[in-house]
Structure 1
Amino acid sequence: MSDGPLLSENPAPPSPRSAKRRLTFVTLAGVLAIVGTLAAAYYFAMRPVTLRIAVGPANSDDIKVVQNLTQAFNNQKGSLVRLRPVQTDGAVASANLLGEGKADLAIIRGDLDVPKNAQAVATLRKNVVVLWVPPAGKTKGKAAPAITKIGQLTGRRIGVVGRTQANVNLLRVILRQYGVDPAKVEIIQFPANEAAEAIRSQKADAYLAAGPVNSKITADAIAASARDGGTPKFLAIDSAEAIAQNHPAYEASEIPAGTFGSAPSRPEEEIKTISFSHHIVARRGVAESTIAIFTRQLFAIRQALKNEFPLAAKIETPDTDKDATIPVHPGAAAFVDGEEKTFLDRYSDYIWWALMALSAMGSAGAWFAGYLKKDERNVNNSQRDRLLDMLAAARQCDSMEELDQMQSEADAILRHTLQCFEHGAIEEGTLTAFNIAIEQFHNAVADRKALLMSMPQNLQRASAQFRAAGNA
């Protein structure tokens, strides 16, 4: 028998399918991870953000504006920001919610204490202060001297439309400016929906209302005091500039003639007054990109709503000056100044890091793929050594069966080597060396078979026995 190793003594070359499966699985997992990461990033970047907006009181114009905006935002295709109204008792309560971080947006009065974390997004509307005196003869009892200016309000009853303390504070600011001690004035408050009835009952000598120029509440209150053809006397706030200088939340303004009626004209001529604003403010922690998108949607929808809901037309851009009473939110400022960041501007850093991560993953994947092919290379090296051993054994083999068996084993080695080359486990130079070794092996087998076939059977048996005895 030949002293070369038999096929049965060496395990069959393992199939590279398991390594191929592992490589395919890892590649597929990596691709899915990358696609999933990109999809998740896009989803989180483009999904609608819901902002809580504090607004009140109930049935107010502010509530109506916010409800219309909420509906418009929800119905707008591709809207990236949506609103969730949080109803409060008024501007003070809304400001408190924002200051406590329980709201993202709020509708507040500019002349109230503004939370430290509030930043302006838009001016919802401007309000003017109206001071007027009913026509002479409308008061009960002994007639009092006619009131023609604010300085004559000492000792009088002043009715304030609305239950908010902010309007009372506003009246006190005006009185002090004209040297009237608020303690010497009787202030009577009544709800806005009871203003007309209270005025008809002549419960006060003068009245104050604060609201938009076209406020129906103010117009109805003035109309209620103009009975029997009398015309109310409007009190001009001539010191509006001084008040605005001492109280930055207020501005000097005018009420045009005929604002509250034209037959007769109310007022008969333009009168000076002060104004203040209701603001949409955002919590400082809300992302700049979110507020920029909200501001863009707000002013786009305002144009669509102003025909159906005129109050929406009052919305204006915020004051972006550095010395503004309420500092502007960076996102709103970016929209107003035309510097709103695009998608690439906002996420360029993330995209760059993602590309770096993909590059690192690619390098890691290449290393891991090479690591998975390490076993194939090791098996291939052992098969190369086996092939060289069979080459030496074939030149001395005296059995045709052994030669056929070794040839079959060489074919299996060649098949495995070609698969390794296809998988990238071995390089072209290694494959070339294998081809040379296989060719030499087949030549050696062919030469040995030719020699054995030319020898008589008795010589073949004698040679086999001689070699067996030598090996023993």
Structure 2
Amino acid sequence: MFITLAGMLAVIGAVAGAYYFAMRPVTLRIAVGPASSDDVKVVQALTQAFAQTHGYVRLRPIQTDGATASAQALADGKADLAIIRGDLDVPKNAQAVATLRKNVAVLWVPPAAKGKGKKSGAKITKIPQLAGHRVGVVGRTQANVNLLKLILQQYAVDPGKVDIVQFPANEAADAVRNQRADAYLAAGPINSKITADAIAASTRDGGTPTFLAIDSAETIAQNHPMYEASEIPAGAFGGSPDKPEDEVKTISFSHHIVARKGLSESTVAAFTGQLFAIRQSLMSEFPLAAKIETPDTDKDAAIPVHPGAAAFVDGEEKTFLDRYSDYIWWGLMALSAMGSAGAWFASYLKKDERNNNSSLRERLLEMIEAARRSDSIEELDQMQSEADDILRDTLHCFEDGAIEEGALTAFNIALEQFHNAVADRRALLMSMPQNLQRAAAQFRAAGTL
């Protein structure tokens, strides 16, 4: 019973310990940048929300110079999660967890400047007409320049014949207002304040900007899977009249939350669950959280989905018992095998003691026969003393576990028979005169009785 109780306590302790280590909070490093960007703000809000809800997953932001640096941090193993652009090189060890937001490419031309000596820019109405003009790109990332070149090449415009200049995002509105380019490109969410401010700065002298449609968006998406054909809704950037007045065809790409390929499936599933659980609560104070979407789980997705995220999306998350039931089962089997092996080994170690006790029991049986033939009370006393020693050794063997309860019961029966034989023989000898006792002893010694 003691061994069984100890084994049960050991199993319960092992399961409790495994549960504690499996469910204790885990902190994931997430690479995001650049500083003061919308992505950084989203990650900071998520970090605070995860900490306040005391979830299984906590976040530790690692600020980088941009999406390219974040992807490299993930590739180098310096981060567990990263915010990357879908139109840049994706690390080989990256798997999608969620779509943080979708960005659209916005190409527009400010209205023609009025007044003597002012350069007119209203003649550009189509992308092929950008050749020979200056195009301003909002943002310092090279990715936006590459996006512009891709669009120009689709329309057979040599990027070398286009003067491309870049403006920091916080200087875009001033650059547009000061007419530092003939056309502009911005890439960001539909509700991006940076894009909206830059377009608002394009309005001058009552004129409205001209939005250049990317009519070949579907062709670009087919040739480059990281892009999708999309549309800019009418009035997306506000103003009076609405800007744009009609829907404009364009291309879009996504910012993804990706995880290291080797990151635990259960950890990623827990992170994904927490992410979408708190998304609704963040929308009121942080509208960008509304743009977070589940990843593409198709096998031909541009970025393969992480199994943990796929399990959450498909409703196939594994519970603690689902994940560790096999280990618990095999642990119990191993514990049972170890218990059996231990019992056999303990029995083997007590083999000599058990054999010795068996010989003592045989000696006790012999003493029963000897007691019935004894002619001396002194001899009976000696046998009684020896029986006491045998009893003492037998009890020690039982306490040590060398003999079972059944063997002890058999010994008690033999001991009782011995005591009866001694008592009967002692009564008989006590009733005989001493001279007859001596004569019987002499005859027995001579072998005649």
Q: TM-score band (shorter)?
A: 0.7 to 0.9
Please, which moves more after superposition, 139-148 or 123-132? 139-148
Kept in 2, the 8 Å contact 1:128–1:210? The answer is yes
Amino acid at match of 1:110: G
Map Cα deviations across residues 183-220 of structure 1 (whole Å, 9 max, x no partner): 11111111111112222222111111110000011111
Match for residue 350 of structure 1? 327
- Aligned pair partner of 1:213 in 164, 179, 190: 190
Q: Which moved more, 1:309-318 or 1:420-429?
A: 420-429
Q: Which runs of 5+ in 2 are unaligned?
A: none
Q: Could you tell me how far 1:342 is from its partner in structure 2?
A: 3.4
What code does the residue aligned with 1:317 have? T
Cα distance change of structure 1 residues 428 and 224 upon mapping to structure 2, 3 Å threshold? closer
Give the counterpart of 1:136 among 89, 112, 117: 112
**Counterpart among 411, 423, 428 of residue 434 in structure 1:** 411
CA distance in 2, matches of 1:368, 1:32: 22
**Structure 2 SS opposite 1:338:** coil
- Offset, 1:337: 2.2
Answer whether contact 2:19 2:320 (CA < 8 A) is retained.
no
SS at match of 1:438: helix
Query: Could you say if the C-alpha distance between residues 138 and 333 of structure 1 is closer, same or farther in structure 2, counting changes exceeding 3 Å?
Result: farther
Task: Show CA shifts across 1:354-403 (max 9, x none).
Answer: 23213312322332343355355234213213323543554565664553
Structure 1 segments unaligned to the other structure (5+ residues): 1-22
TM-score w.r.t. the length of structure 2 is: 0.88
1:127 match: 103
- 8 Å contact 1:140–1:202 — kept in the other structure? no
Contact in 2 for aligned 1:139/1:202 (Cα 8 Å):
no
Listed as ranges, the matches of 1:10-409 within 5 Å are 30=7, 33-77=10-54, 79-137=55-113, 141-144=117-120, 146=122, 147-371=124-348, 373-395=350-372, 400=377, 403-404=380-381, 406-409=383-386
Given the superposition, is the C-alpha separation of residues 356 and 37 from structure 1 closer, same or farther in structure 2, using an over 3 Å criterion? Answer: same
Question: Is the CA contact (8 Å cut-off) linking 2:104 and 2:187 kept in structure 1?
Answer: yes
Q: Secondary structure at the match of 2:108?
A: strand
Q: Distance in 1 between matches of 2:395 and 2:352?
A: 15
> Using the alignment, how far apart are the partners of 2:114 and 2:366 within structure 1?
128
CA 1:58/1:145 → structure 2, altered by over 3 Å: closer, same or farther?
closer
CA distance in 2 between counterparts of 1:359 and 1:434 reads 32
Is residue 196–residue 237 contact of structure 2 (8 Å, CA) maintained in 1? Answer: yes
Q: Please tell me the root mean square deviation across aligned C-alpha atoms, in Å.
A: 3.1
Distance 1:257 1:139, change over 3 A: farther
Say which is worse superposed, 200-209 or 222-231, in terms of deviation.
Answer: 222-231
Could you say which structure has the greater relative contact order, defined with CA pairs below 8 angstroms and 6 or more residues apart?
1
Name whichever of 407-416 and 276-285 sits farther off.
Answer: 407-416
> Are the aligned partners of 2:121 and 2:182 in contact in 1 as well (CA < 8 Å)?
no
Aligned CA distance change for structure 1 residues 400 and 42 (closer, same or farther; 3 Å): same
**CA apart distance, 1:404:** 3.9
* Identical-residue share of aligned pairs (%): 80
Give, in angstroms, the shift of residue 411 of structure 1. 4.3
User: Deviation digits for residues 36-83 of structure 1, max 9, x if unmatched?
Assistant: 433332233222332222111111111111111122222224x22222
Task: Indicate how the Cα distance of structure 1 residues 431 and 348 shifts in structure 2: closer, same or farther if over 3 A, else same.
Answer: closer
Give distance in 1, aligned partners of 2:374 and 2:169. 117
